[in-house]
Amino acid sequence: MTAFTTWDILRNLLLAARWTILLSLAAFIGGGVVGMLVLMMRTSRSGFLRGLSGGYIELFQGTPLLMQLFLAFFGLALLGINVPSWLAAGIALTLWSSAFLAEIWRGCVESLPKGQWEASASLAMRYTEQMRYVILPQALQVAIAPTVGFSVQVVKGTALTSIIGFVELSKAGTIITNATFQPFTVYGFVALIYFALCWPLSKSSQLLERKLNAAHRHH
């Protein structure tokens, strides 16, 4: 039987952490793109689009991420579509974060005074022009801090994908524990690595919030 040194454990965990980072980035970027589309629908003048996007947000916010992962992995397989676990994880996390990001950003859009909409409308701008040139530049400045804050949730959310067999940091921890019988050491390292990923994010979110509040807006 081979003996595992502490360095062996840490090295393998760090290698697996690459997948956690990659999945987090994919989910965050994908979620950002989809979330922007959902946001445009959520704030549009069409009642149908608003209802549709509202339902979408309710659905993903109102069910556990774990169920969404199961449905993406097993549900699609039942339909005859064989999805590898990394793809199911990527899709489920993207949709999940898009719902939360859309809702965070909607709050930022609605925090702007109604006069910004009215002034740009009275200057003959269309909805998409109002959004692009007047509303979003202001809303996104408000949104930076909570958005970075939410990225912490995405990183931690990736841990759940270990259940459908995607080998990221948590899953690697389980595998190594089964081989070494040192759960405390292994999961201790796992937790530390998660903390090392999340702490800078939440700290920078706090800093950004303070900085943007102090500068208030612009310049």
Partner 1 sequence: MPLIAITDVRKRFGANEVLKGIDLDIEPGEVIAVIGKSGSGKSTLLRCVNGLEMIDGGSIMVAGAQLLPDDLHLRALRMKVGMIFQQFNLFPHLTAGRNVMLSPMVVKKTPKGEAEVIARKMLERVGLAAKFDAYPDQLSGGQQQRVAIARALAMAPIALLCDEITSALDPELVNEVLTVVGELASEGMTLMMVTHEMRFAREVCDRVVFMHQGRVHEIGPPEQVFSAPKTPELQQFLGAA
Q: Which stretch binds partner 1 (CB under 8 A): 3-11, 60-68, 99-107, 133-141?
A: 133-141
As a whole number of angstroms, the distance between CA 205 and CA 61 comes to 22
- Name residues contacting partner 1, limited to 188-217 (CB under 8 A): 216-217
Q: Does 80 bind partner 1 (CB under 8 A)?
A: no
Q: Does 81 bind partner 1 (CB under 8 A)?
A: no
Q: Which residue has the tokens 């069910």?
A: 63
Q: Number of residues in contact with partner 1, rule: CB under 8 A?
A: 23
Of 79, 81, 122, 214, the one binding partner 1 (CB under 8 A) is 122
As a whole number of angstroms, the distance between CA 83 and CA 90 comes to 11
Of 24, 94, 97, 120, the one binding partner 1 (CB under 8 A) is 120
Of 37, 59, 123, 215, the one binding partner 1 (CB under 8 A) is 123
Q: Give the shortest CB-54-to-partner 1 separation in angstroms.
A: 23
Residue 59 token pair: 């659905």
Q: Give the shortest CB-49-to-partner 1 separation in angstroms.
A: 15
Note the Cα 216 to chain centre separation in Å: 26
Decide: helix, strand or coil at residue 217.
coil
Q: Which is nearer to partner 1, 44 or 185 (CB)?
A: 44
Q: Does 134 bind partner 1 (CB under 8 A)?
A: yes
CB-based contact 165:85 (threshold 8 Å): yes
Q: What is the DSSP string of 83-147?
A: --HHHHHHHHHHHHHHHHHHHHHHHHHHTS-HHHHHHHHHTT--HHHHIIIIIHHHHHHHHHHHH
Q: Does 125 bind partner 1 (CB under 8 A)?
A: yes
Interacting residue ranges for partner 1, rule: CB under 8 A: 113, 115-116, 118-127, 129, 133-134, 137-138, 141, 216-219
